[in-house]
Amino acid sequence: MATRILIVDDSRTEALRARLLLERAGYQVTIAADGSEGLARAAQDKPDLIFLDTIMPKLNGFEACGKLKLDPKTSKIPVVLLPTAEEIADMPSGPALDCFLTKPYDPNMLVEKVKSIVSDNSKAGSTDDSMRYREELALTRQQLEAANRARRDILANMSHELRTPLHEIIGMTDLLLGTQLTPEQQGYIETSKTSGNALLSLVSDVIEFSELEAGQLGLESKPFELQEPIDRMLEIMQPRAQEKGIGISTTLASGVPKSLNGDANRLRQVLANLIANAIKFTEQGEISVRVDVETQHDREVELHFRVRDTGIGIPEDRRELIFEPFQQVDSSATRRYGGMGMGLATSRQIVKLMGGRIWVESEIGKGSTFHFVVKFGIVAQVVKAAPVAAASLNWPRKLNILVAEDSPTNQLIAKSSLKKEGHTVTLANNGRECVQAYEKSRQVANEPLFDLILMDVAMPEMDGLDATFAIREKEKVMGGHIIIVAMTAFATKEYQEKCIASGMDAYVTKPVRIAELDKTLEPLMNRAQQISKAEVCIAPVDFAAALEVVGDDVDILREAIGFSLTEVPEELRALQLAMDNGEPKGVEAKAHRLKGVMGNIGGLKARDIAQKLETMGEQGNLDGGPDLVKLLVKEITRVINFYQDPSWEQRAREFQAGNHG
């Protein structure tokens, strides 16, 4: 009698593929579409072996496996879990699990796994089997971690290598479109730009899908208003639909919570993909979006989204296949409608990532309805930020921008585009030059401050990550916080996280467009710490004052610093003690001493604070004194840190040379 195998998988395509392979090898195979159906069939049919997908709606594979092992009717049936590579790290290693096979699997491995389990079936559940399973799982985890690291590197490099020339092509066509052209030339350039943008879109789709499969794209969990992602989707999609004379309507059923917690951007992306697909295959009629409550418990709701079109429809035997990458209804659809078939595949991966499910109902010649169900938290009404005044939008003032970029072509694009908007641009060829330019702007009196740094990531000598870290370290001494925006062709989530971890404020992917940069900068500029030379001490030390005291001799200044700073910690402790004990005369004496030390080495802000404390002590009124002492300690610490950096002497000599030049 043939070995009976039960396959439990919500992907009909995957299940049918496995059944075909196993039936060819002589096995008898049945299919269950989800975990609940799988439990029922296992109890009824008592198969010899069960293949169990891990990610399924309602009841996932791990939960189903646990129930199978607890049920006396099915506890002895070997179960083969089918996790993806990224799930291996989280798999339990207890004796209840028999075996696993990582998706995507080689057909020969599938058949060999069945042969191995069937031949060893009599030993299933033994201690040796359990030990072998744990060893196999540990080894596979190590191998997959190495493979995932390699995959991440390949994705990052592929993203960079593809996007960099595309950025240059699209950027140069933008510049060319801003010149005097004949109508014929204008048409040629606009066609080139359209083709470049189409290619960029395809590259982005492939890279994003690869990231989803590799588990490199995560989800945000933030409060949002449901109408917002819907409105943003409509802003993009309605013009496309109007070009074909198609209307788009949206309906939120009564009872649908308006304020949710979850990933609004991913929701918008799924809706946009489904609407784009509907527009592509609909020649007349309308497209409708409807949202209903599927289930609701306490502070959680499961929403059912429907996207209905009046398009060509999908044959029944192709309805599961269209959710696979690079698949369309048939080859004629690809020729007629274009595209690579990535939108639905990406949507399916995102919906799964959100813990939901997606499917389609369709009738040839009448249209299709795409359904997806996902969960969100329910929150009180989202408090919206006060609207920004119109004068503050779109970079109200002309900015002084430092652009760190090693590519001459990208430098030309950035400089030309930003100057056209009225901004001043300084170029740095690598991270080291960027740090030097930033330092110069903060230390030299007649150098204008930069408002913003656009930082490429991949540069020679010093990359953008190290340059950003160096600037943030210098700000600990100099004060302030300049906005740094990553400007890179590395489009993966891992690189985005690296940029933020290094101290960058935001991240834009090449090719960078002014409109995208505007959108990224708007919230940053509104909350940015304003730095002006009148309000903030650019550096804690004024070299002009320090050198004047020592007769413009840097060597004498070095000796004075070494001598002066040794006594500062003890003087600060004595000042703090006098303040704590309420001794005005003690405060006056110690503040006077610190005022002199700081004045001698150029710590003018610290000197001025000490002067205020001295006056308070002299007048016998210490009200507010403790806060001033804290401020003095902070400022003196900045002075000490400044002089502990060995580069101070070189900077002093550069300042000296500049003044004598």
The CATH number covering residue 62 comes to 3.40.50.2300
- Secondary structure of 9-51 in the HEC alphabet? CCCHHHHHHHHHHHHHCCCEEEEECCHHHHHHHHHHHCCCEEE
Cis? peptide before 104, omega within 30° of 0 = yes
Which residues lie across from 509 on neighbouring strands?
488
Longest pairwise C-alpha distance within the chain: 105
Q: Are residues 493 and 571 in the same domain?
A: no
Is 553 within the bounds of a domain? yes
Is 335 a residue whose pLDDT tops 70? no
Is 527 a residue whose pLDDT tops 70? no
10 Å Cβ neighbour count for 386? 6
The lowest-confidence range among 4-8, 313-317, 337-341, 558-562 is 337-341
Contact 217, 493 (CB under 8 A): yes
Domain around 622: 543-660
Query: Tens digit of pLDDT for each residue in 465-489?
Result: 999 999 988 887 677 789 999 987 6
Query: Tens digit of pLDDT for each residue in 364-399?
Result: 888 999 999 999 999 876 555 444 333 333 455 688
**Of 250 and 85, more confident:** 250
The whole-number average pLDDT for the span 176-186 is 87
**Of 127 and 522, more confident:** 522
**Of 178 and 537, more confident:** 178
Query: Tens digit of pLDDT for each residue in 446-461?
Result: 667 888 999 998 888 8
Strands 4-8 and 286-297: unpaired
Measure the CA dihedral 237/348/209/172, to 10°.
Answer: 0
Q: Are residues 519 and 451 in the same domain?
A: yes
Query: Tens digit of pLDDT for each residue in 630-653?
Result: 889 888 888 888 888 777 888 788
Residue 539 CA to chain centroid, in angstroms?
33
10 Å Cβ neighbour count for 245? 10
Nearest to 83 by CA among 103, 66, 110: 103
Q: Are residues 359 and 244 in the same domain?
A: yes
Is 473 within the bounds of a domain? yes
Say what the pLDDT of residue 412 is.
Answer: 85
Under the banding of pLDDT at 50, 70 and 90, the label for residue 146 is low
Q: Are residues 579 and 450 in the same domain?
A: no
Q: Are residues 326 and 463 in the same domain?
A: no
Say what the pLDDT of residue 531 is.
Answer: 41
Q: How far apart are CA 506 and CA 417, in angstroms?
A: 20
Is 533 within the bounds of a domain? no
Is 96 a residue whose pLDDT tops 80? no
Q: The domain that contains 651 carries what CATH number?
A: 1.20.120
Last residue of a domain, one of 492, 527, 562: 527
Say what the pLDDT of residue 177 is.
Answer: 84
Q: Are residues 233 and 352 in the same domain?
A: yes
Say what the pLDDT of residue 585 is.
Answer: 92
Query: Tens digit of pLDDT for each residue in 274-291?
Result: 998 898 888 888 899 999
Say what the pLDDT of residue 125 is.
Answer: 46
Say what the pLDDT of residue 5 is.
Answer: 93
Nearest to 426 by CA among 45, 434, 142: 434
Is 337 a residue whose pLDDT tops 50? no
Is 100 within the bounds of a domain? yes
Mean pLDDT of all residues belonging to the chain: 80
Is 331 a residue whose pLDDT tops 60? no
Helices (H), 285-430: 331-337, 343-353, 408-420
Q: Are residues 492 and 401 in the same domain?
A: yes
Under the banding of pLDDT at 50, 70 and 90, the label for residue 560 is confident
Q: Are residues 472 and 568 in the same domain?
A: no
Overall number of domains in the chain: 4
Q: Are residues 557 and 522 in the same domain?
A: no
Is 148 within the bounds of a domain? no
Is 130 within the bounds of a domain? no
Q: How far apart are CA 559 and CA 568, in angstroms?
A: 15
Query: Tens digit of pLDDT for each residue in 562-600?
Result: 877 788 888 899 999 999 999 999 999 999 989 988 988
